[in-house]
Amino acid sequence: MPKLLVVDDEPGIRRLLEEVFRDDRYQVVAAASGKEALAKWKEWEPDLVLLDMKMPGMDGLEVLRRMAGKYSRVPVIIMTAYGELRIVDEALNLGARGYVTKPFDVLELRNTVDRLLAE
């Protein structure tokens, strides 16, 4: 089963994504901060990461910067607010493979995840 790491500082988003993906087809682990994300990324070695960009303390871009290189084979989908084009650009330059804007369509996100995992 593919392992998904869900990173978001908002409990509601983490819960939503856990509900969407935690079924017979995926294993899901959630992290509430950039720091927690780095730890779980290294320990648990996910197959795909869903990464919030706006978080207090270490934000999503900083997480990407630190994980680029060594873990660059792991596809990352970033989650960002509408209109944050500069952040999307920078994240894609750092190796992110896709992005969704909040509020995102759950079905579309599932399709994106499945497509990246199939590659």
Contact positions vs Mg ion (CB under 5 A):
9, 52, 54-55
CA distance 64 to 13: 20
Of 88, 81, 78, the C-alpha closest to 102 is 81
The residue among 53 and 74 lying less far from Mg ion, judged by its C-beta, is 53
Rounded to whole angstroms, the Cα distance separating 28 from 25 reads 10
Instruction: Specify the residue, 36 or 52, whose C-beta has the smaller distance to Mg ion.
Output: 52
Q: Which residues contact 114 (CB under 8 A, 6 or more apart)?
A: none
Kindly state the smallest distance separating residue 24's Cβ from Mg ion, in Å. 29
**Minimal distance in Å, beta carbon 8 to Mg ion?**
6
Q: Based on CB atoms, which residue is closest to Mg ion, 10 or 19?
A: 10
Q: How far apart are CA 1 and CA 13, in angstroms?
A: 22
In the bound complex, what is the minimum distance in angstroms from residue 118's beta carbon to Mg ion? 28
